[in-house]
Amino acid sequence: MIIPVCTVVTENCYKEFLLFKTSIERFHQCEWYISCDEFVKENIEQSEMIHSHHLIEDDNCDHVINDEQQNENFTKLILTKFDICTEGLKHHPFVLLIDNDMIFTNPIDDGIIKLLADKSVDACVCPHMTDGYGDEKITGYFNCGMAFISSQEFIDHWATLTSNHKKLGLYYEQKPLELVLKAFVTCNLPMNYNIGWWRFLTPQTEKRMNLFNIQDQRLYFGKLPAINFHTHTLKALKYNNQGGFLTDFLFDSMGQCFNMDYRAISEKYAELKNENI
């Protein structure tokens, strides 16, 4: 089954997008719905499976650093997520809304796809699972970097709360996601999905790293296939990259596997690191 992927891509994350695209397409056929800036629109591959929409005027934005103009630009950027999800849902029973600082190492479970394709759930989402790192009461208990959505009404509610997040005192689109979930039938994805660096930062949670293992030349997290990792790989950040350890671990672990998919991903990573885009 085709996975309809919705993502936001700008010049400063274009390399990470290309790496992410390489990784997920090793496991799934994808149709892409992309909100982008002028640079990406001019440079991205054009095909019947790639629909790029020039919706972003300024990618000088950030939500981590304290800069009012960059924070405002970030809000404008994230609101375009909902536009491309709406476009994707016109053509598919569900969409995968996902950030492009992702590396896939195993395919998405068929059971998850079936739930969404049958519209048995409105969304499948990813809890942060930090177990106390940071303040999830403020930033949100769910990570909005990866969500499967099958309901346009879900998108509409999320967009409305996000567009008013400052007035409501909510953290960008992430805290609004948590509130929207209360009105819909949703499924929480397990810890082997959206494996982010924030899940390994305390003396207790860093022990989770011991759960990674290799089975049949593939990466596992405990007894479950490690589906995808959420960590910056190629983007120049305006702040300290706390996830660098996870990126290093991931590519070292893939190198230990005799796996042609992992080899292709690693080769793309090396190529992009040395390429001036």
Residue 99 DSSP SS3: coil
Going from the C-alpha of 202 to that of each of 64, 132, 133, 134, 247, the distances in angstroms are: 20, 8, 7, 10, 18
In 18-155, DSSP assigns E strands to 30-36, 50-54, 95-98, 102-104, 123-127, 142-149
Give the domain CATH number at 128: 3.90.550.10
Tell me the pLDDT of the chain averaged across its residues.
93
Spatial neighbors of 96 by CB under 8 A, at least 6 apart, are 3, 4, 5, 6, 146, 147, 148
Question: pLDDT for 231-249, tens place per residue?
Answer: 999 988 767 788 999 999 9
The residue range of the domain holding 217 is 3-273
CA 79: distance to chain centroid?
15
pTM listed for this prediction: 0.95
Identify the band that residue 65 occupies on the pLDDT scale cut at 50, 70 and 90: low
Residue 242 burial (10 A CB sphere; 0-12, 13-18, 19+): middle
Question: pLDDT for 143-202, tens place per residue?
Answer: 999 999 999 999 999 999 999 999 999 988 999 999 999 999 999 999 999 999 999 999
Instruction: State the total domains in the chain.
Output: 1
Question: pLDDT for 107-121, tens place per residue?
Answer: 999 999 999 999 999
